[in-house]
Amino acid sequence: MFRDSRLFQAEQTEIDKQLYTAAEIAIQKVLHVRSGEQVLIITNPKTDVARISAALFDAAYAVNARPTLLFQPEKHQIDFAEKTVIAAFEARPEVVLSISSGKLGKDERGIASPYQYEGTGYDHIFHLAQYGEKTCRAFWSPTVTIDSFIRTIPIDYPLLQQRCAAVGALLNAAESVRITAPSGTDIVIGLNGRKAKADDGNFSTPGSGGNLPAGETFISPENNTADGVIAFDGSISLHDREILIKKPIVCTVKAGFVTGIQGGSEADALRETLELAEHNAWQFESRGALPAGMGEIYARNAWNIGELGIGLNPAAKVTGNMLEDEKAFHTCHFAIGQNYDEDAPALIHLDGLVRNPTIIARLPGGDEHSIERDGDFLL
């Protein structure tokens, strides 16, 4: 039976209103976009991300900014961005939004010859601008949907920032953290020399940025320190898709690297992705897309534990879309692959969710403080 067309139009109008309201919040309250600023929006010709991007364009234009909307074909974990997309960063936009149905895409030139800034190499021009030169502020929303955008963007950002700061302060003070969970996770990671980062929805200053939906504090483990077992039981990213996990994927971790993977078909899919990333690293080097000697490093780091993150967005829920899943309360996530401290490069960064964790930070001297217990936030 066909729906009444007038009812359908009314429903669409209401969705469009909610979408524009969320876009206004993103532009005005999260990014604090100002008159005259260049706003680069990169997206794909897919319905949800295209409509979200159009709403963001309108919201930026409404505050007299100078938005540019750029489309490219859909990209995944190991794909390169179009050269025109990379070239757009040369204009030094003050604000960058990546609203992709997959990923932004890798920078072929940056991987072959990393950009240098104050002694640090960056394999993507976006990372150079964002983390090195700090000439732009940004958010990126890979695989975002309209439903998620209109539901998870209008939240209490001061409260979120307070929670993110509390978690970050504890992680910064800790020398290690232990994570356990009912599905079998039991792992300790070192944190010496690491500093937590907050995806707290305050992207108002040059060099700031994160996901929208926002809502996590995350940190790169000290290299070669993670030891134990991670049992992913929520959802997980693969090189070409994201999946809800039916049978836990149990990863043995030694000295910072995944050394074994057990489970069902989902475990097999994760193993195939890691092997593909390892293989592609060697292939990249063989054709000059990676500098000589870097193939081995990128291949090894395909198995690296590169992140611990803690979800703090009260409107987020686990749906099989990692962008939102990793922000949900009562979860934490680990990433396999590249870290955020630019000292463990890899071709992948695969987030995987653990439900109802107990997270205990150990401070120098032996004091312990709980961040979550059985998924309940305690700070």
- pLDDT digits over 286-296, tens only? 999 899 999 99
- pLDDT digits over 93-147, tens only? 999 999 999 999 999 999 999 999 999 999 999 999 999 999 999 999 999 999 9
- pLDDT digits over 16-45, tens only? 999 999 999 999 999 999 999 999 999 999
pLDDT at 13: 84
- Measured CA to CA, the distance from residue 208 to residue 134 in angstroms comes to 8
Per DSSP, what are the bridge partners of residue 244? 235
Class of domain 5-140: alpha beta
Looking at residue 106, the DSSP 8-state letter turns out to be B
Contact (Cβ atoms closer than 8 angstroms) between residue 68 and residue 84: no
Contact (Cβ atoms closer than 8 angstroms) between residue 217 and residue 172: no
Quote the tokens at residue 74.
Answer: 């859909």
Contact (Cβ atoms closer than 8 angstroms) between residue 140 and residue 209: yes
What are the DSSP calls for 190-203, one per residue? E-TT---EEE-S--
Q: Higher confidence at residue 13 or residue 253?
A: 253
Residue carrying structure tokens 């987030």: 351
- Measured CA to CA, the distance from residue 6 to residue 208 in angstroms comes to 43
Count of Cβ atoms closer than 10 Å to residue 35 Cβ: 8
Map out the domains of the chain as residue ranges: 5-140, 156-377
pLDDT at 8: 46
Quote the tokens at residue 53.
Answer: 């991007």
- pLDDT digits over 58-77, tens only? 999 999 999 999 999 999 98
> Phi then psi for 103, rounded to 5 degrees?
-130, 170
pLDDT tier, 3 (very low <50, low <70, confident <90, very high otherwise): very low
Q: Residue 177 to residues 48, 68, 192, 297: CA-CA distances in angstroms? A: 38, 43, 11, 26
